[in-house]
Amino acid sequence: MKRVGATEAWTGTADCRLCAIRGSVLFAGLKEDDFERFHRPIDQSVYGAGATIYAMGDPATSLFTIRSGLVKLTQFLPDGTQRIVRLLRSTDLIGLEALIDSEYPHTATALQPTELCRLPVEFVRSLSHSNAQLFNELMARWHKALSNADRWITEFSTGSSRDRVVRLLLWLAEARGDERCELFSREDLGAVLGLTTETASRTMAELKRQGFISEPRVNQFLCDMPSLRRLLDA
């Protein structure tokens, strides 16, 4: 396991009123007045690829908004096998579970250099009681997480290895809005799809040979979206 850049660094306190992605984050619905009530500042930090944001079992004290980057949430079974249950990106929220659980149920790891804003759980909890907008936004976040999880089950855990890989490629590319997708290691690919590293590797290599995807830069793939979609019907 490569640990290059497995670091965390505090990069200052955020001014939410000036946030570049404010329209898309949890606090989107808050008004200027609400921000006045922030007594404690919101910490911002950067995590290098491979850095652990929190580990399963850690006391759940914060939620995090992803400003940029890519984060995986991993869950472990008693026998040691692990499975990536979510991939999260800019404007997504991680650690929602902290609102209910006292410990994080997953391990959160940065897959790319990632900027986060740290939101203390008590802060979000109290604010949600007094602010209907935030309440609705939270509900929407739960809903999104749940429908993603459902998708994980039906799309990434069902069918042949090729189908799973193709569905993931399409999902990644669609989420970006173009034909490209930043990919991660074959090991993580396997952990997302419930396949071994070797099967993940073979499947990717096969798709490359057949011309469905190309790799202009390392770990950046170009997808022939229409052809890939057609693969799923057959």
Partner DNA sequence: ACAGCCTATTGCGAATTGTCATTTCGACCG
Partner DNA sequence: CGGTCGAAATGACAATTCGCAATAGGCTGT
d(CA 16, CA 36): 10
Binding positions for a copy of itself, 94-133, rule CB under 8 A = 96-97, 99-101, 105-106, 129, 132
Binding positions for DNA, 160-189, rule CB under 7 A = 160-162, 185-187
As measured in angstroms, the least distance from the Cβ of 28 to DNA is 36
With contacts defined by CB under 7 A, how many residues of the chain interact with DNA? 20
Residue 84's identity, in one-letter code, is I
d(CA 73, CA 130): 30
Q: Is 198 in the site for DNA (CB under 7 A)?
A: yes
DSSP letter assigned to residue 103: B
Member of 52, 197, 225, 231 binding DNA (CB under 7 A): 197
102: nearest Cα among 65, 57, 138, 145:
57
Q: Is 150 in the site for DNA (CB under 7 A)?
A: no
d(CA 55, CA 101): 14
For the record, the structure tokens of 70 come out as 């890519």
d(CA 74, CA 8): 19
Q: Is 141 in the site for DNA (CB under 7 A)?
A: no
Query: Quick one: what does residue 218 bind among DNA, a copy of itself, none, with the CB cut-off 5 to 8 Å set by partner type?
Result: DNA
d(CA 116, CA 234): 41
Query: Quick one: what does residue 187 bind among a copy of itself, DNA, none, with the CB cut-off 5 to 8 Å set by partner type?
Result: DNA
As measured in angstroms, the least distance from the Cβ of 114 to DNA is 18
As measured in angstroms, the least distance from the Cβ of 1 to DNA is 5
